[in-house]
Amino acid sequence: MADKYYLAVTAGPTYEDQTPVPVNTEEVSHFASDKLTANLTVRIQNYRGLDVHQKPSALKTSPYFKQAPHTHDLYSIQFSFTPKEEVNGHDLVFGNDFDHPIRDKLPPGFQNAFNLVKWFIDPGMYADVQADEPYLYGPLLSSMNVWRVGPKDDREQEKVEEVRASGDAEHPHVLEEGGDGDGEAARKEKGIPGDAAGRKKWFLNEKHLKDFTFEPGREYSNDFFNPYLDFNDFALRLPGFAVIPGITIPIISYWDGQPLRYVMKNRATDEALFVVIFTLIPKEEIDGKGGEAEGKTEGKAEHTGGADDDLD
């Protein structure tokens, strides 16, 4: 059933202000709002979707998935943001939400699967999948696989941007945990562990979250990836361990037409700050229109830094 659709990826500062973004090209999309500026790179293994022109993409993968530790990952949402105002660490969350109820579409055993994901992948997650507007979120500080703190000094930030721009379709820039310039010192000053596992565990403590502030003018870089969500088959693949076998949940069989949204928001104000949307579009809508998709693509993004070479 999944092979009857193309995947379209858009992003923007709000749910409504969205524009198509490239996938597997290493091009960086830039966004700006009155709350922050943001950069985004999206990679999907076995990509069966559309390019920025809303035509079937020839780029099925990225060399990113050949590099350790990403050889088993199925996607990457790599993004950085620079706040324009302070945001408390407890309030900045990242996850999925929906406009309409999904309670009648949930597969059997979903709650058990969610409990497994929360225990095994991200204990900081919180959710209400029975709500009229269901959601699943976690604090950004404990949710990101990789988190890097940038410098406050403009000259040091220019060096960071030069390194980021050095990546291309054949040699992608793979983000690593840590800090740049005085960003490393800013981590140490708060007592934040230098490794990703330690940092995620550290921020499961609510006091540590509330003691941290995202500073205006400082860039925070993130990479969110995992081997569990297969966009090619639109399925959730959970690992087995001990005596429990791995399970695959065919999400497409329970899909009600809503897009999958990854949202960074301020939960204190309930305001979305940055949104990446994955939408399934019937192939007949694309192939029957000469590669032109219907739908809103409001807003503008500037793409720089990558090549559109076919990787296959």
pTM: 0.87
118 vs 187 pLDDT, higher one? 187
What CA–CA distance (Å, rounded) separates 112 from 55?
38
- Asked if the model's pLDDT at residue 79 lies above 90, the reply is yes
Q: What are the extents of the domains in the chain?
A: 2-304
**Peptide bond before 216: cis, by omega within 30 degrees of 0?**
no
Band of residue 56 on the pLDDT scale cut at 50, 70, 90: very high
**124-153 pLDDT, tens per residue?**
888 888 888 888 899 999 999 999 999 999
- Asked if the model's pLDDT at residue 290 lies above 70, the reply is no
